[in-house]
Amino acid sequence: MSNMIYPTTNFKATETLTIERGDGAYVYDNEGNQYLEGLAGLWCTSLGYNNRELIDTAAEQMGKLSYSHMFGGKTHQVGMDLADKLTAMVPVENAKVFFGNSGSDANDSHVKMLRYYFNAIGKPEKFKIIARERSYHGVTVAAASLTGLPPNHTHFSLPFDALGVLRTDAPHYFRGALPGESEAQFVDRIVNNLEQLILKEGADTIAAFIAEPITGASGVIVPPAGYYEKVQAVLNKYDILFWADEVITGFGRTGNDFGCTTVGIEKPALMTLAKQLSSAYMPISASVIRGDMYEAMIEPSSQVGVFGHGYTYSGHPVAAAVSLKTLEIYERDNIFGHAAKVGEYMQKRLGEFRDHPLVGEVRGAGMIGAVEMVSDKKTGAGFEGGAVGYFAMQACQNHGMITRAVAGNSLAFCPPLIVSEAQIDEMVEKLGKALDETL
Ligand code: PLP
């Protein structure tokens, strides 16, 4: 046993698997066993492992300039190039970008920039944020408070009220619908709940609504048709900003460039990006905001003498170089097009499990999906606790595939974007064996 405190781990069951190396869509443990990476690490290794170009880019940049900070406007070309390339890709108007190290800290940066912005335009009371049940936005104090999953809250005494976190429904029809309710009625009900929450709290007190276009860690929830159209209409009516957390859905994952495109979110005011931004070869995140928000922050930063927020590693040159190369590869090799095509195949193949006696719902879009296991296929009743999901995840691992049990008893799939249809077949075959053993 090492002296490590493991992240997101049951401390009674640490050191479960020792991974030694990776190549393409596969990783290998310390005994040489091969595993298909069904979850791209933690939804992040889009270009797979051992990508020569990314390795060479990192090594070259380390040799040239291994570190330089960006405080006080000190800069470097590769950081500026990444900022320009990224802001040209995103659907945010006149986008400006602040770099960090993780999805969590990027969300914290957004919380602070929202406050800075609304203070700057003379609306200090407009600071609350509406987040959804069963969302995942990370684990730093502010990000964990936005997250809507109990294990990320319990025993941590998070400052929900001080942060102004408000909670609204998860758009999961399968789990959230009332008996006899149609999808359209479900959407109308939960969007009405959202509007009532805004009216109760006062629109003048609410800065933003944060959502993962399609969720990841909470079980890959794909909202019913019409949900985001109606949510956006309500937010526009009350002048509340849309904040898209695209940490998982960004960069080709859902069959398009961004999850916003896939689900019809138009012009979010804020966007959080990480993970596939660098294909996980280096830690880096991006908090993107609308240009006018940045403009409003200029004067107050000058009054104070500094915008007092920044990380030692904001715009780290090696992370910037690797990200820039990642974005170039996405474009040059039409990775998003490939992912859309193979993603469609993956959805079709995962859909075959709808008939499996253990499966209550299969959901997903592009190259992200989940298979939810139920105790009663007819009623959709789930299992108590997460033991079944854990068992199925272990069974997948025994058959040479890595996945994750999410939201208790759903198995999530999010392979590297470079996988082939043959590798999707391999994934499906292994999943089939694992589900049969779990029955
Ligand atoms: N937001 C979303 C949607 C995520 O899925 C995650 C991580 O899985 C985060 C934020 C937090 O990112 P990180 O783990 O890099 O802090």
pLDDT confidence of residue 371: 98
Instruction: List where CATH 3.40.640.10 sits in the chain.
Output: 56-332
DSSP 8-state secondary structure symbol assigned to residue 361: E
Instruction: For this complex, say whether ipTM is above 0.95.
Output: yes
Torsion of CA 233, 237, 240, 242, to 10 degrees: 20
Q: Which residue CA neighbors atom 1 of ligand 1 most closely?
A: 137
pLDDT confidence of residue 170: 98
Instruction: List where CATH 3.90.1150.10 sits in the chain.
Output: 19-50+334-438
What's the rounded Cα separation, in Å, for the pair 246 and 103?
9
Q: Span 56-332: which CATH code?
A: 3.40.640.10
Q: Which residue CA neighbors atom 13 of ligand 1 most closely?
A: 103
Reported as a single tens digit per residue, the pLDDT across 325-346 is: 999 999 999 999 999 999 999 9
pLDDT confidence of residue 16: 84
**Tokens, residue 144:** 């964990």
pLDDT confidence of residue 342: 98
Reported as a single tens digit per residue, the pLDDT across 182-216 is: 999 999 999 999 999 999 999 999 999 999 999 99
Collect the ranges in the chain with pLDDT lower than 50.
none
Instruction: Report the pocket of ligand 1 as residue ranges, CB < 6 Å.
Output: 42, 102-104, 107, 136-138, 212, 216-217, 245, 247-248, 274
Per the CATH hierarchy, to which homologous superfamily does domain 19-50+334-438 belong?
Aspartate Aminotransferase, domain 1 (3.90.1150.10)
What's the rounded Cα separation, in Å, for the pair 431 and 439?
12
> Which of helix, strand or coil describes residue 50?
coil
CA of 246 to the centre of ligand 1 (A): 9
